Structure 1
Amino acid sequence: MITIKRLASSDADFTARLNALLAFEAAQDEAVVQTVATILADVKARGDVAVVEYTRRFDGLGVNSMADLEIPRSALQRALAGLPADQRQALEAAASRVRNYHQRQTLQSWQYDEDGEGDGAGESRGTMLGQKVTPLDRVGLYVPGGKASYPSSVLMNAIPARVAGVGELIMVVPTPAGEHNPLVLAAAALVGVDRVFTIGGAQAVAALAYGTQTVPQVDKIVGPGNAYVAAAKRRVFGVVGIDMVAGPSEILIICDGHTDPDWVAMDLFSQAEHDELAQAILICPDAAYIDRVAASLEALLPTMPRQQVIRAALENRGALIEVRDLDEACHIANRIAPEHLELSLDDPDPWVDKIRHAGAIFIGRYTSESLGDYCAGPNHVLPTSGSARFSSPLGVYDFQKRTSLIRVSRADSKTLGRIAATLAYGEGLPAHARSAEYRVDS
């Protein structure tokens, strides 16, 4: 029997129990932190030699040089050409949809001119202000390897980078015991990854962040990984950019009690099967329906290959929550700010505006979260652990940077100079003030 928590918003201790349910120990394991710090420093100092040594140690590969760890483009193309027809069609269809969605996100450069009357010395142009949008030069993609291989991660990280105009994509993917995933390599070929190295862990993050004799330094590192990868990304932030440090996967379903309970149970399973710390929550105003979902969980769990992981996740951090009405359900959802939020309702559209904090909203009974993971189009790299309150999904804008443009005419420098000088003197920065006043005095 699954021992999943049952909560009711009408209970006196509901808030305390909800807070306990949402609490996630994000503190880093000190042993992991120290190991990562050592690896980063070593790779920074010794480059390729250190990366090869760690790859031998952690992945069990009998390699002698970085040349043994780079997959040539021809091998990527062979992986793509060798896919079964159904897998290739699915991969191409997903890539097309993801690309089509992200093409609508591209930021544009812009500028505007303020009116200027000229200064009598041939200067007739006013002040121009604007923004220049530039893609990053080089991005590193971290893709999990071995049994936990996700070609969808390649699509979701590489495609928005390509749409943004990133010049070069460097992918790292660990291959424990030499285990390659053909779909991952095929996805890399399909999206045009430039170079692929079969390295992983903190040593791969270090190679991307600092550069080695073989691995070029990147401007930003994106992609999921284990605790060592997450700790390494935290530590190199500032040397390079990172996308986010993601926590365990999450799903929250708001249901009116009319959806097939097996559907809801399987949607909860879809995130619980990721790992034992994943969170799956149902919120519903119908107590009898919650009982039916609980029965479906019991009936369907034995059919799941990853049933042990699912059971642990549901018992550790899962919950079935009874609320007074859908308004209260949305209020609690905003408190949770989940990664994935399903509105499994007869008429979901009016409730979308009630949701302020969620990584992605899946609207209607037929919109399962799994469609978003693979092929709907929006990015599946989403904020977790309540960070949807202030963070957004990965997108094209994460691979572009903005540069401010300022051109002040001779005439306008007098007006702006007086304003700047007054404020600078007020801040006790006379050099700032005099710099502006020189243009006024001229």
Structure 2
Amino acid sequence: MKIVSARDFDLRREVEYGSPEQNATVKQIVTDIKQQGDTALLDYTSRFDRTELTADRLRVTPDELQAAYALVEPSFIQAITQAADNIRQFHQKQKRNSWMDLQPDGSLLGQIIRPLKRVGVYVPGGKAAYPSSVLMNVIPAQVAGVPEIVMVTPPATGGTEGIDPYILVTAAEAGVTEIYRVGGAQAIAALAYGTESIQPVDKICGPGNIYVALAKREVYGIVDIDSIAGPSEIVVLADEQSNPAYIAADLLSQAEHDEMASAILVTPSQRIADEVAAEVQRQLETLPRREIAAASVNNYGAIIVTTDLNEGISVVNRLAPEHLEIMVDQPMNIVGLIENAGAIFLGNYSSEPVGDYFAGPNHIIPTNGTARFSSPVDVDDFIKKSSMISYSKEALLANGNIIMELARHEGLEGHARAIQIRLEQEG
């Protein structure tokens, strides 16, 4: 990993939303699905996933879900169940309630909280399968009260209809029964516009490749989306007392996701910088996804040496990372100074994978510096709010002239007259 000073490191990372060719391809796919429905969906599944399907084979059957259990170790089922319990407990604390406030003049103001009716969850099946993403998308939606949750995931390439059994078992354990074996931009378009076999949804969540990301952007406005996620990121803020082996392992835990993932150490200690750089190279040698992680480290990794810890905190806030690990002697003394980070991990034993899989907070977190203004997926992503106004006669008589003044100031006489006619008849 390259070692640089904070002064010499460019904190800006260009966000690329696909090449012109990729954008054109996605637009065409979305248009075809919108206009041709299942016909286009099956055609693209054949072309991109090399899987021949008929419309009656799009949906995973209950027998297939049950059969997946025979292909999965009991220890995995136990682990996924425990993780689901932790995730559910964490998200239960985020629930909101409707409220009403009775005013002294008899008016009633309030807010009504309702869950979305139907949510689509995309689960990738490309370079790796991520059963944990099933839980992170489905459980907050369930806690919010969403009654219909549908999952799409690509069939295995090479002419088979198969779906990773671990994904199917996780979905079944989470209570998802409506699952379709489609992926890519065509699956996103099917969820947004609907086809003969798949009913449209209100919101689409879940990570995917560049074509999935571009498709989500393309259909936003027809449906809501969680985000347009970029490559994974980790920043470790460490001092002289930190453990170089732990830091290197955690940096590589994110680097192995993708060649474009970003892994950065920020430290005022030159010794820690040197030792972590050496440790990363040592650990890379035996990492199964070595080529992916090495590309990430070489192209998007860095060790930033700062003048002191305060400058390190400033660098972190400017980076606004997806994952931030604070490996300093007293991390609780630092956390209050962190303004921008999606998820914050405190201390030597709060390794990023603890949050990815088991602790309970959501691992779908803003990337590309968007932690400056956005948050991890939570229960709020699956609700909608309606304002409620029940104005009393007393309140209208008292405030009507003020309302008319504001309306006429904006040149909206019709608004003013809607109040005036009531004042004339009721006053």
The TM-score normalised by the length of structure 1 is: 0.93
Query: Using the alignment, how far apart are the partners of 1:348 and 1:74 within structure 2?
Result: 50
CA contact (8 A) 1:80 1:190 kept: no
Q: Does 1:414 align with 2:397?
A: yes
Q: Does 1:94 align with 2:94?
A: no
Q: How many residues align?
A: 422
Query: Using the alignment, how far apart are the partners of 1:109 and 1:231 within structure 2?
Result: 35
Q: Deviations over 1:17-37 (max 9, x none)?
A: 323xx3224243111111111
Instruction: Give the match for residue 184 of structure 2.
Output: 201
Alignment of 1:21-36 (within 5 A): 22-36=12-26
Counterpart residue type for residue 90 of structure 1: A
Among candidates 58, 61, 67, match of residue 51 of structure 2: 61
Counterpart residue type for residue 5 of structure 1: K
Counterpart residue type for residue 326 of structure 2: L
1:297 positional shift:
1.1
Q: Does 1:109 align with 2:98?
A: yes
Query: Using the alignment, how far apart are the partners of 2:94 and 2:108 within structure 1?
Result: 26
Q: Does 1:186 align with 2:178?
A: no
Query: Using the alignment, how far apart are the partners of 1:147 and 1:87 within structure 2?
Result: 20
The TM-score normalised by the length of structure 2 is: 0.97
Name the CA shift for 1:417/1:74 in 2 (closer, same or farther; >3 Å). Answer: farther
Instruction: Give the match for residue 137 of structure 1.
Output: 117
SS of the residue corresponding to residue 285 of structure 2 reads: helix
Counterpart residue type for residue 18 of structure 2: Q
Among candidates 153, 156, 175, match of residue 173 of structure 1: 153
Alignment RMSD: 1.2
1:146 positional shift:
4.4
Query: Using the alignment, how far apart are the partners of 2:208 and 2:115 within structure 1?
Result: 25
1:236 positional shift:
0.5
Instruction: Give the match for residue 5 of structure 1.
Output: 2
Instruction: Give the match for residue 329 of structure 2.
Output: 346
1:308 positional shift:
1.0
* Structure 2, unpaired ranges of 5+: none
Among candidates 280, 288, 292, match of residue 297 of structure 1: 280
Q: Deviations over 1:287-313 (max 9, x none)?
A: 012111111112111101111111111
1:180 positional shift:
2.0
Counterpart residue type for residue 113 of structure 1: L
Instruction: Give the match for residue 237 of structure 1.
Output: 220
Q: Does 1:374 align with 2:366?
A: no
Instruction: Give the match for residue 254 of structure 2.
Output: 271
CA contact (8 A) 2:153 2:163 kept: no
Q: Deviations over 1:79-138 (max 9, x none)?
A: 24652121111110111100010001111101101112xxxxxxxxx1111000000000
CA contact (8 A) 2:42 2:52 kept: no
Instruction: Give the match for residue 123 of structure 1.
Output: none
SS of the residue corresponding to residue 72 of structure 2 reads: coil
Query: Using the alignment, how far apart are the partners of 2:302 and 2:424 within structure 1?
Result: 70
CA contact (8 A) 1:146 1:181 kept: no
Instruction: Give the match for residue 154 of structure 1.
Output: 134
* Structure 1, unpaired ranges of 5+: 117-125
Q: Deviations over 1:319-362 (max 9, x none)?
A: 10111221111111000000000001221101010101000000
CA contact (8 A) 1:70 1:195 kept: yes
Q: Deviations over 1:240-279 (max 9, x none)?
A: 0000001110000011132321111010000000111100
Counterpart residue type for residue 2 of structure 2: K
Name the CA shift for 1:155/1:314 in 2 (closer, same or farther; >3 Å). Answer: same
Query: Using the alignment, how far apart are the partners of 1:416 and 1:216 within structure 2?
Result: 47
- Give % identity: 46
